[in-house]
A and B are shown apart, each in its own frame.
Chain A
Amino acid sequence: QKEVEQDPGPLSVPEGAIVSLNCTYSNSAFQYFMWYRQYSRKGPELLMYTYSSGNKEDGRFTAQVDKSSKYISLFIRDSQPSDSATYLCAMSVHTDSGGYQKVTFGTGTKLQVIP
């Protein structure tokens, strides 16, 4: 079983829809949770990161972390064709001696927003 599980999709939605992207994880030590967006032939771009449980909002994007369920989500409101990309969740642990431990990524969910 992988430490981080993410549905690869593809997920197709009409323009203007609310998109929900999710990841589950097994390592309860994860403390930092990130979402990246990756366009074809580009490097991943950091969208949001959160520490521990709770919600964080940035424009049309909302990240949620539920540590008790080991489940994180990214919501995209009023989705646009330009949101079509692969979305990667990522998680890491921080220690005082080793800094951030390795960042573990999900395999990514391919999203297509249809005009």
Chain B
Amino acid sequence: KAGVTQTPRYLIKTRGQQVTLSCSPISGHRSVSWYQQTPGQGLQFLFEYFSETQRNKGNFPGRFSGRQFSNSRSEMNVSTLELGDSALYLCASSSQGGAEAFFGQGTRLTVV
């Protein structure tokens, strides 16, 4: 069974640009959650999508948005990038959401 796939693995962007990250969950999983991981703040929840609907949202500005497609694949978009957005972005998939979640390898975003 294939795991969670995130693309791309690495990205370098310039301040002010926007970026889109992709996550393909485990087959059959309908819930996809996104997290930002930084050395100072640890893992912080961004949002969760379930069956194409955003079900939960963390405390991030509106520049961070996402969506989920009918095949459960999800994308996350960050607009007007800031230096502080440099982080490892992780997605996690689960069948129903929450406890038994499986993470991808992450996308490491560097904003210069």
Contacts and interface: CB of A to CB of B under 8 A. Distances in A.
A60 interface: no
A46 B48 CA distance: 18
Contacts of A87: none
Contacts of B104: 43
Report the contact-size class of chain A (Cβ under 8 Å from the partner): 20 to 34
Given A98-B56, A102-B48, A103-B33, A46 B43 contact: no
Given A43-B4, A44-B43, A105-B42, A99 B90 contact: no
A4 B59 CA distance: 16
B56 A43 contact: no
B101 interface: yes
Residues of A contacting B: mostly: strand
Interface residues of B, number: 28
Interface-central residue, B50, B56, B96, by most chain A CB under 10 Å = B56
Given A43-B105, A102-B48, A103-B33, A92 B99 contact: yes
A63 interface: no
Given A43-B4, A43-B90, A43-B104, A100 B98 contact: yes
A74 to B, nearest CB: 15
Contact of B42 (A42, A98, A106): A106
B44 to A, nearest CB: 8
13 contacts: A32-B99, A42-B105, A43-B4, A43-B92, A43-B105, A44-B43, A44-B90, A94-B98, A99-B48, A100-B48, A100-B99, A101-B98, A102-B56
Given A92-B98, A99-B31, A107-B41, 4 more contacts: A43-B105, A44-B92, A99-B98, A102-B58
- Kindly list the 6 A-B residue pairs having the minimum CB-CB distance in the complex, ordered from nearest: A100-B98, A43-B103, A107-B42, A105-B43, A102-B45, A32-B99
